[in-house]
Amino acid sequence: MKTVSESRMYGGVQGVYTHDSKVCGVPMTFAVYLPPQAKAGRVPCLWYLSGLTCTHENAMTKAGLQAHAAELGLAIVFPDTSPRGEGVANDEAYDLGQGAGFYVNATQDPWAPHFRMEDYVVRELRDLVAASFPVTDSHGITGHSMGGHGALTLAMRHPGHYASLSAFAPIAHPSASDWGRKQLGAYLGPDESLWRGHDAVHLLGDKGWSSDILVDQGLSDQFLDLLKPEALAEALGRTRTPSTVRLQAGYDHSYNFVATFGRDHVEWHAERLK
């Protein structure tokens, strides 16, 4: 692991790092915020997964989560959204390829050699963070848009791995949306039965979630029809999963929306991780 930068922030440290990923086969960049409490001992860890076109930097600079994490004593990890660089497959469209890893392990060419974001986030990067930073074994996960999809699906696909779960405007039902069918078809192939295991609506019935879930969704979100929050709400009710789903009037899909409700989410995780 190499340090790209470290800056003092709210009494803690915001760092950016790179490492050679064996899982993805290329160098990967990620960011970690350590609150001031980390100087005295290990702190719980919140993972923030970003959306389409984003890197580690978008939420790190726009979501404003560090101020809340500093007050409440949480570390925050900001992974990248896909492998990048020369030799990594890409597509002309913004919603496929580099910047659009969808948090799955691709099985289809040309994506399979590098696009293994599920194993990267859940295993390789988690092990690196645990070995390199003063964090406890208590981890939560959240994310926005494609990252909200990733948070929901990775938490349910890996029981016991995360102790708390939330999402901002998640792609909730990708197997029934143009934001999902395109990517799952490309990365996993045409057999739609394989997509089910990466769809939060189906996973709630197939695997479930052992705790409660917080979801915020803006009602002026320009991508509302692609996100399908109504399908997620129906699945949460049908499976009787404890949850708080808030439809926020006037809010769109931007980081202004994420920043507005960011404190609520950091508090949600802090209460459950501590």
DSSP state of 221: -
CA distances from 122 to 101, 146, 200 (A): 14, 16, 17
Q: What are phi and psi of 167, to 5 degrees?
A: -155, 145
**Owner of token pair 């570390």:** 75
157-190 b/e (C-beta count within 10 Å ≥ 16 → b): bbeeebbbbbbbbbbbbbbebebbebbbbbbbee
Residues with a catalytic annotation lie at: 145, 221, 253
Tell which residue, 204, 154, 237, 182, has the closest CA to residue 52: 182
- The β-bridge relationship of strands 135-143 and 75-79 is unpaired
Contacts of 61 (CB under 8 A, 6+ apart): none
Segments in 133-177 forming alpha helices (H): 146-157
Are 49 and 151 spatial neighbours (Cβ–Cβ below 8 Å)?
yes
Q: What angle do CA 145, 105, 232 make, to 5 degrees?
A: 35
